[in-house]
Structure 1
């Protein structure tokens, strides 16, 4: 019996991709949490929110849930993130 192991990573680097600029500090900022909707994200985001507020001075946390755990964030979430948030965290609740 034999089997083939496939590497699921993409073979090329996407053109024109760059990371967004990072803020020097999170103090006073609004941070958005994007949940995939699974149960495990609740505890993760609860503890992360406490840490961001206490240790980094984050002023506001906005939590949103995607309409499908297997799809990218919905257009309205992306629009809100660009308009209202200074940083974002995504969570997988598996």
Structure 2
């Protein structure tokens, strides 16, 4: 049972300030990558597959795995602090339903607000929820990575294939040109 749900369609009386995006590194080589999973089926498997590919192909220094215990609640403060203290970039996922897609976007923006570049993975079926949450958070047009729906029904090989398909997009969102580069 859910204690609370994030309603991305709510019309706040006052819009939130735009979340500034964190400066991106030029490369992920030598960086520590956080993997923030929710409890959706295959979320951890997807992030593990992405982490393995980042390690293999991008030369990341390490992976920090964390898991939220709710698909709808914001990332807990202790997990957010842990990720921002230990990681250079964070991958958040997976939005594979309306509520968890909105929550994943909110989590990605919380990480960005803490000064760490983040990318969120959502399935294409729930872009309306994801985009609505980005708008609600004051960050219309927030870039996240989209994968075909559903993720939850895939076997291990299917999850690995999705990770492979989206890897370049993940790297693209987490890294930047010299105009927005972090040291």
TM-score by length of 1: 0.79
8 Å CA contact retained: 1:35, 1:91:
yes
Query: Whole-Å Cα distance in 2 between the matches of residues 29 and 9 of structure 1?
Result: 37
CA shift for structure 1 position 31? 0.6
Residues 40-62 of structure 1: CA distance to partner in whole angstroms, max 9, x if unpaired? 21321122012101111111111
Query: Whole-Å Cα distance in 1 between the matches of residues 38 and 27 of structure 2?
Result: 26
Distance 1:9 1:27, change over 3 A: farther
Task: Say whether 1:39 aligns with 2:7.
Answer: no
Query: How many residues of Structure 1 are paired with residues of Structure 2 in the alignment?
Result: 88
Residues 1-58 of structure 1: CA distance to partner in whole angstroms, max 9, x if unpaired? xxxxxx9386886324211111111111111111112222132112201210111111
Which structure has more relative contact order (CA 8 Å, sep 6+)? It is 1
Larger Rg: 1
SS at match of 1:82: helix
- Equivalent position to 1:75, from 71, 77, 82: 77
Task: Say whether 1:65 aligns with 2:67.
Answer: yes
Match of 2:9 in 1: 8
8 Å CA contact retained: 1:37, 1:93:
no
Task: Report which of the two has the higher share of helix.
Answer: 2
Unaligned runs of 5+ in 1: 1-6
TM-score by length of 2: 0.43
Distance 1:83 1:9, change over 3 A: same
